[in-house]
Amino acid sequence: MFGALVFSILFVPEPYANRYALFLTATSVLFLVGLLEDLGFGIQPKLRLLAAILSSLMVILLLEVWLVRSGVAWFDPYMAYWPVGVALTVFVTVGVANGFNLIDGVNGLAAVAAMACAVALALIAAQAGYTAMVRFALMLAFAVFGFVLVNFPLGKIFLGDAGAYTLGFVLSWFGVSILWHFPVVSPWAILLTVFWPVADTSLAIYRRVRHRSIAFLPDRLHVHQLVMRALEIYALGRGRRQLANPLTTVILAPFVISPPLTGAWLWNDNSAAGIVVLLYAVGFFGCYVLTFPVLRRMPRRRQ
């Protein structure tokens, strides 16, 4: 995936080529650490987190871009102080990068989320008049689509930590860039483009804090894992993981795609986008909580 980003430099408009190269230089730090993990070097979660923080700080230093608006009226005056804006930017971009890694548990799910996000960002950029970002986002969307053709449904290749971290990181910075250059765009609309990984990660962090474990480590209670196990236990039967895995993505895809498309629709309506974020969040967490009692009442499939 990072190779596709490097190759895309050939298609970047000349005025943006140098800045795009600097952005990829910063991104390469996180990519290389993720790649080392994929190659079996056992990089500790704290080191991966530090790599993501370092990459974000490098983008800020090299490109002088960060979040200057939060979409919350009473908090936005504090964003005028660069330490606040920089800290929030690092928190958001690192969180989204980790979020994409955490949802990368079944074939195609993280890629579907990335494509939906990239297309939504392209639509927002087009409506705002940010033509360069339209090209960047669509190039990424097509690169991910090419990956999906091989990854789904049989999982012949995988994103791995390197690919998932890189996708989340790049997409989050695309969103930050749109907000930096076009004040008319709603931060809540940008949040909607990455709603699924953000919501799933928020829920994971809540579970870790509650059980006093490491916040960014994966567990077996992510939404996609619950759906996949439910398919095996209640519908397909155990030992049908090869079918349950891609079917989980098919089931979840409409819910993953809907928030980004809503964000593209409400791109410049901050109040409406904020309300929709709240509604999606209530629906997401409500459905998650209700899943457990519902599954306990369902009859298990006989083997």
What are the residue boundaries of the structural domains of the chain, listed by start?
2-297
- Rounded Cα–Cα distance for residues 173 and 178 (Å): 9
Q: What's 186's DSSP letter?
A: -
Average pLDDT over residues 145-156: 92
Q: What is the pLDDT of residue 243?
A: 92
**Of all helices (H) and strands (E), which one includes residue 135?**
helix 131-151
Give 134's pLDDT tier (boundaries 50, 70, 90). Answer: very high
140 alpha carbon, distance to own chain's centre: 13
Q: What is the pLDDT of residue 3?
A: 78
A 10 A CB-CB count for 296 gives 7
Dihedrals phi, psi of 245, to nearest 5 degrees: -60, -60
- Rounded Cα–Cα distance for residues 190 and 188 (Å): 5
Q: Which amino acid is at 166?
A: T
Which residue numbers belong to the known binding site? 101, 161
Global pTM reads 0.94
The first and second tokens of residue 171, run together, are 């997409």
Residue 159 near residue 167 (C-beta atoms within 8 A):
yes
**Nearest CA to 252 among 143, 112, 135, 154?**
112
Residue 270 near residue 205 (C-beta atoms within 8 A):
no
Which residue numbers belong to the known binding site for Mg(2+)? 101, 161
A 10 A CB-CB count for 205 gives 15
Q: What is the pLDDT of residue 102?
A: 93
- Rounded Cα–Cα distance for residues 272 and 146 (Å): 34
- Rounded Cα–Cα distance for residues 296 and 289 (Å): 12
245 alpha carbon, distance to own chain's centre: 20
Q: What is the pLDDT of residue 14?
A: 81
The first and second tokens of residue 199, run together, are 């919501």
Count of all residues that appear for the chain in the document: 303
Give 244's pLDDT tier (boundaries 50, 70, 90). Answer: very high
- Rounded Cα–Cα distance for residues 92 and 32 (Å): 21
The pLDDT of residue 216 is above 60: no
Please tell me whether residue 75 adopts helix, strand or coil conformation: coil
Dihedrals phi, psi of 44, to nearest 5 degrees: -65, 150
If you average pLDDT over every residue of the chain, what do you get? 92
**Nearest CA to 25 among 1, 44, 49, 2?**
2
The pLDDT of residue 74 is above 80: yes
